Structure 1
């Protein structure tokens, strides 16, 4: 567990991980990162903007036996809200009613959120603890996106203990359908304007 005398990255870089880094030649570089401005536990304004722009996230939990589980969560831009410099919240919408994540968090509050933006080729990893809140209608209402056609059932709160922004290596560049539609719309409008101009010039 992180303490004031230990780097925040220890939440991921256990002694076993560090030994493997040492064996493979990357430990020195990560040690320099740990003594500098590497990982953080505070959500900065820049990271806040990135988080709240996402429409799709991956949420990892473990059950009491350590069995991992990854679940996708999605919604309109802004469905993820940074409530303070250590807390992310969102409305949990009705799904397939398996309740694996909720069950895991009942036994083990440690959780992990993985964010990836294919357009910007950027990813952010967040370690922390999470809990579900089912008895706060005011908070649920405040986190439910306006006009989104989904039934919000409960609140998900994630307490950030550490985050790290990875490099863009190996991230393919992809675009959302809405972005592609808007680009094609602008192209078609430009083509129409050029066709009108060509028609005008032919009739001069």
Structure 2
């Protein structure tokens, strides 16, 4: 884990629990009406959602090559943008902060525009192979004037042009159960597995041919 200056946690002091970042009074009212509030209140009493990047989350993000970043305009119009790169392209800066290089793309700048007037952001990471998902609430900011930071976030050897950096400060994070997540595998992982299988088949066929030759010569 890369250590740098620790940023303050962006959780609103008015929130009683870390999950209040998502469980607003309106949400809690529906939970009460539908019978799930008691269970979530129990979770809150036992510490609630995690608010720091621990080794478990750091390890998960280190294997992530794709996620979705959600932002919203000042008047709450949401927008979701996909972000991707080699595994490890999300860097951990400290126990509350992650960051990644923002590559040059179609130059719409919707995410950057949203963050300029509303720093609230959300990251959704899906691991289809292991049927896992992680949700992160927090705030994000675009850093345009720190080329050293941007360059430090670039994956080595990756063919993309970094334009700036996006720094995400975590307020709370949580995981979901695997229910309804279809199991899917990355094409590169499948190709590697097939190549390993084919190499083993070739090896076994060579051994079999050698044994047949030895058996024939012994007759």
- Relative to the length of structure 2, the TM-score reads 0.90
Residue matched to 2:143: 133
1:114 lines up with 2:124 in the alignment: yes
d(CA) in 2 for partners of 1:40 and 1:160? 10
d(CA) in 2 for partners of 1:5 and 1:21? 18
Q: Secondary structure of 2:199's match?
A: helix
Checking the alignment, whether the CA contact within 8 Å between 1:2 and 1:10 is kept in structure 2 is no
Listed as ranges, the gaps of 5+ residues in structure 1 are none
Q: Secondary structure of 2:27's match?
A: helix
Aligned equivalent of 1:8, options 14, 18, 21: 18
Shift of 1:118: 0.6
1:47 lines up with 2:57 in the alignment: yes
Residue matched to 2:91: 81
Aligned residue pair count: 204
Aligned equivalent of 2:161, options 151, 158, 162: 151
Residue 104 to residue 12, structure 1, CA distance change in 2 (3 Å)? same
d(CA) in 1 for partners of 2:134 and 2:29? 24
Aligned structure 1 segments of 4 or more residues deviating by more than 6 angstroms: none
Q: CA RMSD in A?
A: 1.2
Q: Secondary structure of 1:132's match?
A: strand
d(CA) in 1 for partners of 2:118 and 2:68? 17
Aligned equivalent of 1:71, options 63, 72, 81: 81
- Relative to the length of structure 1, the TM-score reads 0.96
Listed as ranges, the gaps of 5+ residues in structure 2 are 1-10
d(CA) in 2 for partners of 1:5 and 1:48? 25
Q: Which has the higher contact order (CA 8 A, sep 6+)?
A: 2
d(CA) in 1 for partners of 2:58 and 2:167? 15
d(CA) in 2 for partners of 1:4 and 1:59? 25
Residue 90 to residue 34, structure 1, CA distance change in 2 (3 Å)? same
Q: Secondary structure of 1:123's match?
A: strand
Shift of 1:38: 3.5
Aligned equivalent of 2:187, options 170, 173, 177: 177
d(CA) in 2 for partners of 1:101 and 1:5? 26
Checking the alignment, whether the CA contact within 8 Å between 2:15 and 2:21 is kept in structure 1 is no
1:34 lines up with 2:44 in the alignment: yes
Checking the alignment, whether the CA contact within 8 Å between 1:112 and 1:125 is kept in structure 2 is yes
1:187 lines up with 2:197 in the alignment: yes
